[in-house]
Amino acid sequence: MADTWSQLYLGAGLTVLSHPLMYVKVLIQVGHEPMGPSLGRNIFGRPVLQLPGLFAYAKHIVKIDGKGGLFKGLTPRLYSGAIGTVIHSKVLQCLELKKTSDQSSLCHVFGETMREMIARSTATIVTHPFHVITLRCMIQFIGRETKYSGMFSSVVTIYQEEGFFGFFAGLIPRLLGDMISLWLSNLLAYVINTYILEPSSQGSQIGELRSYSQAVTGFVASMMTYPFVLVSNLMAVNNCGLVGGLPPYAAVYTSWIDCWCQLSREGSMSRGNSLFFRKAPAGRIYINDQK
């Protein structure tokens, strides 16, 4: 129980600290570019048109809504994190595997990955309505709406306008992305630890590298599955009655597969993946909403 409380407090702290970054990322994902590109230089020193990065975008939000404006949607996200942590912990306890002599065997890796996948998927499904509310609170910045101003009113709004399934908009690509990322991360870590950083090597440096392999493979897997995150977030706000979920910011998609196909044709599958060196797409028209 003490471990669960520690995870809750740590998770809440990290959520608060990272919220402005997620807020900016979501606005970029839906195509909101309130400031036009400026002339900059790429890593080779060549002049290119660049879109504002994280800090310039955050400064724009603060200019309009104040510092507190960077934390729109924080409350439902905190609920999501807390409930998800408890559910994840409980499911892991229920599915605890028997200890084996070889903790690094492929069978053990498969078992642990299946266990983690079930726990993550369960937590994601239960907390997804909070995720949807969080995203919609954020994109209200675009149209200056107040439709999602509180938890209860947000729940009522979604249920009245979209019914029960409205709470699970964008769930399928999110689940797929999580599962693919988890399996890629764990299997890559197994291959690296087994065949590259051989256990027979007793050096302290090899031991340290093996301990960090999971974090590295997790990062690589998350980068590879980013399109699922983008599609999921776009579907969560798609045609929801807010300006940010409608053209010209986001097209009205018939399904998440339609969203995926359209983004692929446009070459926009990595939109929002980088928050710093963002090259301006050629031919793009920018809507200036400086207040």
pLDDT grade for 115, boundaries at 50, 70 and 90: very high
pLDDT grade for 290, boundaries at 50, 70 and 90: very low
pLDDT at 284 over 50: yes
DSSP 244: G
Beta-strand ranges (E) seen in the chain are 38-41, 47-51, 278-279
Distance between CA atoms of residues 135 and 137, nearest Å: 5
**Residue 41 dihedral angles phi and psi, to the nearest 5°:** -130, 140
Which of residues 218 and 289 earns the better pLDDT score? Answer: 218
Secondary structure of residue 175 in the 3-state scheme? helix
Q: How many CB atoms lie within 10 A of CB 13?
A: 10
CA distances from 135 to 96, 109, 141, 210 (A): 34, 34, 11, 37
Rounded percentage of the chain residues whose pLDDT exceeds 70: 87
pLDDT at 132 over 90: yes
Which of residues 175 and 52 earns the better pLDDT score? Answer: 175
Taking only the tens place, the pLDDT of each residue in 73-100 is 999 999 999 999 999 999 998 988 665 5
Per the CB < 8 A criterion, the answer to whether 237 and 137 are in contact is no
Q: What pLDDT does 202 receive?
A: 53
Any idea which fold 2-279 has? Mitochondrial carrier fold (1.50.40)
**Domain boundaries along the sequence of the chain:** 2-279
Mean pLDDT of the chain: 87
Q: What is the pLDDT averaged over residues 28-56?
A: 81
Strand order across the 38-41 sheet: 38-41, 47-51, 278-279
Taking only the tens place, the pLDDT of each residue in 207-225 is 566 667 778 898 999 999 9
Secondary structure of residue 41 in the 3-state scheme? strand
